[in-house]
Amino acid sequence: MSLFKNKFLSIILPGILALLAVLYLTVLRDHAAEIYLEKKTVERGDIQAVVAATGTLNPVTLVDVGCEVTGRISALYADFNSVVTKGQVLAELDQAPFAMRVSQAEASLKVSEAALARAAVQMDQAKGQYERAALLFDKQVISIEVKEAAEAAYKGAQAEYAAARSNREQARSQVDSAKLDLDHTIIRAPLDGVVINRAVSVGQTVVSRATTPLLFQIADDLERLRIECRIREADVGHLKKGQPVTFTVDAHPDVLFKGVVNHVRFASELAQNVVSYTAVVDVEKPEAKLLPRMTARVVIEVGAAQNVLLVPSAALRFEPPTDLADSIAVDWGGEGGPGGGPGHGPNAGEDAGARRAGDDNRAQHGSPEERGHRSDADSGNVVRSVWVLKKDGGIRRVSVLPGMSDLSMTEVRQVVDGQLGEGDTVVLWAQTPETLRISRESSLRRPRFH
C-alpha cells in the first residue's frame, strides 16, 4: 500500500499538476484575457450639426400681481386657469381699516381748513391795524415803536396763515393717500390673460414690506410660449436668429415640437468654471399640449454637410485601457510600432494634446451623453483619435480632424495620420467579462424612472 502511494505521488500527481497548468494557460487564461469590444462600421452620409440644451417653457409675458398694502384677503374672484381681462377685479382686502383711515384723514382736513380760515381772519385784522398805524405815523400821531409793533403783528399773522395753508395741503395729501390705499385693497388684473398661479386664499393676511407679496401670476397668452435654455460657451458662437429648433417634453415624449431661435442674451452665468449664456427660442404653434414651466430638451440645428465620412461620436472618446493593451493587440502607430504604447510616433504630441483637451472638455461639460451633443465649434482644429479594427483582431490608431456632429455621429473632415474609409470598423469601448458583468449588475440595480 505504501509502495502504491509513493508511486502515485511520484508519477501521477505531477502529471495532474502539469495538466492543470496546461488547462490554465490554454483555457482559463485565454478566457480571463477575453475582451468585449463594442464596434460600429464607418459610413458615408449626410449630417446636421446641432447644439443640445435643456430649458424651461415660459409665456412671452408673465406678470406677477402683488399687493401694495397690508391686509387680510376678504374675497377672491379669480382662480387657477381663470381667463381675465385688464382691470377685472381679482381679489379684495378687508376695507374697513382703510375706510376708517380715510375718515380720519378727511376729519383732519376739515380741522386744517378751519385753522386756515381763522388764520386768514387774523391776518386781515393785523393788516388793517398795520395800515391804520402807518397812516397815524405819517401824521405824527403815534410813535415809531407803535408802528413797528403793528407791522410785526401783521407779518406774524401772514406767517400763521402760510403755515395753516401748508397744513391744509398736507391734510389733503393724507386724504388722497388714504383713498389710494383704500383703492389698493381691490386687486385688479393688469392685462388680458390667464391666471397661472394663485398664491393666496380667503382669510390670509398679506404683509407688504420691502418686497411686494405675490398674489397671482398672469400670462398674457398661452398660445405664445418661449424656451429659455442655457448654452455652453463652446456652442454659443454658432447660434443665430432664425435657426430651426426641435424639442421634446416629458409630458409628450413621442411628439416633436418646433421653434426658432429668437436671440441670445449677452448676460453670462458662471457655474463650476463653465460659462454659459441664455438662448431664447420662440415656440411655433404650441397648442394645448405645452404648459408653462415644462422642461424642454432642445436641439438647435446650426449647420449641415452632405455625403461625408461619418464615425460614431463615442469612437472619438475611446482610448484603449493600458492594462488591456496586450490582450487586444493595440497598434499605437508611428515609430513605436505594435505595442509601442502611447506617446510614440510623429503625431504623439498632437494626440496627447488632443487627449488632454478631450479630458478637460469631458471634465467641464458633463456626462458622455451630453459630450456627444457637440457642434462643429466644439471640435475646432483639435486632432482626435479613432481606433480601427484590423483583420488579425487587433486595433490600430487613426488620427482624424473632426467636423460637424449631431447627437450620435461626427463628420471626419480630414484623416491626419493613418487610413480610414467607408466600411472600416471602429471601436466604441472595451471591457473584460468581469467589468461587463459588474456594469450589467449595476444597471439592473439602478432605479428606473418612467
pLDDT digit string, tens, across residues 163-210 = 999 999 999 999 999 999 999 999 999 999 999 999 999 999 999 887
Which cell numbers in the block locate residue 251?
409630458
Give the span between the Cα atoms of 209 and 293, in whole angstroms: 28
Q: Report the pLDDT value the prediction gives residue 223, as an integer from 0 to 100.
A: 84
In this prediction, residue 10 carries a pLDDT of: 60
The CB density around residue 195, as the number of other CB atoms within 10 Å, is 19
Cell numbers representing residue 145 in the block: 415803536
Model pLDDT, residue 415: 93
Is residue 379 pLDDT above 50, yes or no?
no
**Binning pLDDT at 50, 70 and 90, where does residue 32 land?**
very low
In the chain, % of residues over pLDDT 90: 56
Rounded CA separation 412/139 (Å): 117
Mean pLDDT of 123-128: 94
> Would you state the pLDDT for residue 408?
87
Mean pLDDT computed over every residue of the chain: 81
The residues, ordered by sequence, that sit 6+ positions from 342 with a Cβ below 8 Å of its Cβ are 322, 332, 348, 351, 352
pLDDT band of 266, cuts 50, 70, 90: very high
Question: What burial letters (b/e) apply to 425-438, b meaning 16+ CB within 10 Å?
Answer: ebbbbbbbeeeeee
The grid cell for 115 is 385753522
Confidence of residue 429 (pLDDT cuts 50, 70, 90): confident
Bridging pattern class, strands 395-405 and 330-331: parallel
DSSP H helix total and E strand total for the chain: 10, 20
Q: What is the pLDDT of residues 218-227, one digit of tens each?
A: 998 888 899 9
Residues with Cβ < 8 Å from 200, sequence gap 6 or more?
Answer: 73, 76, 91, 206, 213, 215
Distances (CA, A) of 122 to 77, 116, 128, 143: 55, 10, 10, 24
Which residues are CB-neighbours of 91 under 8 A, at least 6 positions away? 73, 75, 76, 77, 78, 186, 187, 200, 215, 216
Residue 27: CA count within 13 A, CB half-sphere: 5
**Which pLDDT band, with edges at 50, 70 and 90, does 340 fall under?**
very low
Tell me which H or E stretch contains 301. strand 295-312
- Mention every residue, 6+ apart, whose C-beta is less than 8 A from residue 268: 233, 275, 276, 277
Residue 351 has pLDDT above 90, yes or no: no
The reported pTM is 0.60
Q: What is the dihedral of CA 99, 105, 109, 111, to 10 degrees?
A: 110
pLDDT of residue 286: 74
* pLDDT of 234 higher than 90: no
Mean pLDDT of 99-117: 96
pLDDT, position 303: 85
pLDDT exceeds cutoff 70 at 366: no
Q: How many CB atoms lie within 10 A of CB 375?
A: 25
Query: Is pLDDT of 24 > 70?
Result: no
Q: How many Å apart are CA 186 and CA 105, to the nearest integer?
A: 20
The residue type of 307 is: N
> Over 90: is that where the pLDDT of 78 sits?
yes
Distances (CA, A) of 362 to 53, 350, 357, 391, 407: 16, 18, 9, 32, 16
Nearest to 46 by CA among 431, 421, 429, 404: 404
Query: If pLDDT is split at 50, 70 and 90, which confidence band does 375 have?
Result: very low
